[in-house]
Amino acid sequence: MANPASMSYAPPGAPGVVARPATAAVAFFGALAAGLFTVIGSVLLIAQAKDVAAQSVKDLGADPTGLFQSVVDDAADKLHSRGILGLAFGILVVAAAVLARNAATWARVVLSVVLVVEIFIGAVTARDIAPGGTKVLDGLAIVLALVAIVAAFMPATGRFAKARKLGTPA
């Protein structure tokens, strides 16, 4: 009886199924989760932008409905814009993760570039005024994005991409 661990490999030189290494799975699922966390955090930011801006003015001891209404509106608009930017890049990360699931080199490079931009967007949002949920989700997204970038370029992931391209076992 054949060894079950070698069942996913084809004989050398024959096209067959290539086993996906854990690093490729970590890169895919880490990027997917980072993108989804960014999308959810951005939706929270968009939904609560006006309330967060008004609360920030109240925390400074001012009345957000009186003289400072234009300040609240400007801050809410800025938060809303950041939320839309985060939402757009969250969707781009999810799309790039789906494209990079088979570890093609071009897709891993695109995924890494989008993840780096997402890291900067998340860092700005997490250190500025934002709902607590958005800050937590952006912090998690940053960590997962870093893990995904590293895992995407581990040697096992590169061997997997090369084996898939050549149609040989890894």
- Listed in sequence order, the residues at least 6 apart from 95 whose beta carbon sits closer than 8 Å to its beta carbon are none
Going by C-alpha positions, the residue among 13, 35, 15, 157 that lies closest to residue 96 is 35
Q: pLDDT at residue 6 above 50?
A: no
The answer to whether residue 59 sits within a structural domain is yes
pTM reported for the whole predicted model: 0.82
Which H or E run contains 111? Answer: helix 105-127
Domain holding 101, by residue range, is: 21-166
| Mean pLDDT of all residues in 58-76 | 81
Which of 34-38, 92-96, 120-124, 161-165 is predicted with the least confidence, judged by mean pLDDT?
Answer: 161-165
The answer to whether residue 105 sits within a structural domain is yes
Structurally, how many domains does the chain consist of?
1
Show the 3-state SS of 131-168: CHHHHHHHHHHHHHHHHHHHHHCCHHHHHHHHHHHHCC
The answer to whether residue 148 sits within a structural domain is yes
In the structure encoding, which two tokens stand for residue 168, read together? 């040989």
Q: pLDDT at residue 9 above 50?
A: no
The answer to whether residue 31 sits within a structural domain is yes
The answer to whether residue 3 sits within a structural domain is no
The answer to whether residue 11 sits within a structural domain is no
- Listed in sequence order, the residues at least 6 apart from 82 whose beta carbon sits closer than 8 Å to its beta carbon are 42, 45, 121, 124, 125, 128
